[in-house]
C-alpha cells in the first residue's frame, strides 16, 4: 500500500511538542489515520515483534480495515481506550471494531470485561499492566501503548473523558491506567495513561470543533484545563502527540 502522507511535513509544532497536521478534508484525515497507524505499527513490529494499539469507536476506527494484508496483523494487540460495560450499550466499542477484527484477522484482541464499571476498570488496568506487548512509561510507571487512536468532540472530550468529570480532574498525576467513566456505565483510559503512550493520534476534523481546537491548542496551560480533556493529553512523558485537523477545524487557531 502506498503511504501517501509518510513524507508530509507537520503544519505546525507547538512549543510543548504537540504536532498538528492540517488537511483539506475529513476523508484526507481518514487517510492519514490509516497511514500513520501503519507506519507506527511497522516500526514497533520491527523493533520488538509486536504492536499495541488502543482504539475507541466510530470514524477513527473505520479507516483501519483498509490495512488488511498491509500489516502482519498476527503481531497486533488490540486494546480499547474506552468501553461501555453496563446496560444495553455494554460492548459498544467492541461491536464497532468487529469488522476491523474480522477483516484484518487481528491476532490478539483484549476485550474490556462486562460488569460493574469500577470492577471492569480495575481488571482492564491489570490487563494492560500484565501484557507483554505493552511497555512501561518511565515518567509515570503506567502502561505505554505503542499507539493510542482517539476521536474527540466539540465539547473537548476524548475517549470517555468528559469536561470536569471525576475521571478528568484526577489528572495530571493519576496513577491508574483505567478509570470508571462517571455517569457512562463504562471505563476509559486515564489522561495520564494516554500521555504515557509512544504515539497518540487525536482526530478533530469537523467544522463544529473549531472552537475546541483553538482552546486545546491555542491556549497556554492547556494540560491543566479540565474543561477541555483533549487538550490535557501531553508530550511531557515522551509521547508523540499528533492532532489531525482540517482547514475547517483549524480555522480559529492563531497564527503559528
Q: How large is the average pLDDT for residues 235-255?
A: 94
Q: Please write the tens of the pLDDT for every residue from 150-188.
A: 999 999 999 999 999 999 999 999 999 999 999 999 999
Residue 76's beta-bridge partner residues?
Answer: 51
For 198-221, write each residue's pLDDT tens digit.
999 999 999 999 999 999 998 878
Q: What is the rounded CA–CA span in Å between residue 106 and residue 82? A: 19
The domains located in the chain, with CATH, are 20-246 (3.40.50.1360)
Q: Which three cell numbers stand for residue 21?
A: 497536521
According to the model, what pLDDT value does residue 51 have? Answer: 98
The shares of helix, strand and coil residues in the chain, as percent rounded to the nearest 5, are 35, 20, 45
* Residue 8: pLDDT over 70: no
Provide the pLDDT for residue 4. Answer: 45
C-beta of residue 163 within 8 angstroms of C-beta of residue 228? yes
3-state secondary structure of 241: strand
225-243 confidence digits (pLDDT tens)? 999 999 999 999 999 999 9
Q: Confirm if 237 and 180 have CB atoms less than 8 A apart.
A: no
Q: What is residue 118's predicted lDDT score, i.e. its pLDDT?
A: 96
Element (H, E) at 189: strand 186-189
The pLDDT of residue 219 is 81
pLDDT tens track for 12-66 = 999 999 999 999 999 999 999 999 999 999 999 999 999 999 999 888 999 999 9
Confidence at residue 1, expressed as pLDDT on a 0 to 100 scale: 34
Residue 20 Cα distances to 55, 110, 253, 256, angstroms: 20, 30, 11, 11
Across the beta sheet with 51-55, the strand order is 12-13, 19-23, 240-246, 199-204, 147-150, 51-55, 76-80, 108-109
**256 — pLDDT class (breaks 50, 70, 90):** low
pLDDT, mean of residues 126-139: 96
pLDDT at 2: 37
8 Å CB contact between 143 and 130? no
pLDDT at 59: 86
Amino acid at each position: 500500500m502506498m503511504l501517501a502522507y509518510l513524507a508530509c511535513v507537520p503544519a505546525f509544532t507547538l512549543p510543548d511538542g504537540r504536532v498538528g497536521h492540517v488537511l483539506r478534508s475529513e476523508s484526507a484525515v481518514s487517510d492519514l489515520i490509516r497511514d500513520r497507524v501503519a507506519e507506527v505499527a511497522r516500526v514497533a513490529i520491527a523493533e520488538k515483534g509486536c504492536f499495541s494499539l488502543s482504539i475507541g469507536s466510530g470514524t477513527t476506527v473505520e479507516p483501519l480495515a483498509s490495512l488488511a494484508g498491509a500489516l502482519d496483523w498476527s503481531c497486533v494487540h488490540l486494546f480499547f481506550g474506552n468501553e461501555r460495560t453496563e446496560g444495553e450499550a455494554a460492548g459498544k466499542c467492541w461491536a464497532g471494531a468487529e469488522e476491523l477484527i474480522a477483516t484484518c484477522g487481528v491476532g490478539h484482541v483484549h476485550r474490556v470485561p462486562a460488569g460493574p464499571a469500577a470492577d471492569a476498570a480495575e481488571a482492564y488496568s491489570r490487563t494492560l499492566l500484565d501484557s507483554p506487548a505493552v511497555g512501561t512509561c518511565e515518567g509515570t510507571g503506567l502502561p505505554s501503548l505503542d499507539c493510542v487512536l482517539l476521536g474527540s468532540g466539540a465539547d473537548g472530550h476524548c475517549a470517555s473523558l468528559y469536561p470536569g468529570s471525576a475521571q478528568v480532574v484526577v489528572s495530571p498525576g493519576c496513577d491508574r491506567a483505567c478509570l470508571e467513566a462517571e455517569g457512562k456505565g463504562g471505563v476509559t483510559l486515564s489522561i495520564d495513561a494516554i500521555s504515557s503512550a509512544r504515539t497518540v493520534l487525536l482526530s478533530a476534523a469537523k467544522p463544529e470543533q473549531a472552537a475546541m481546537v483553538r482552546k486545546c491548542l491555542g491556549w497556554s496551560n492547556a494540560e491543566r484545563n479540565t474543561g477541555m480533556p483533549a487538550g490535557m493529553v501531553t508530550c511531557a512523558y515522551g509521547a508523540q502527540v499528533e492532532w489531525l485537523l482540517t482547514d475547517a477545524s483549524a480555522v480559529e487557531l492563531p497564527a503559528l
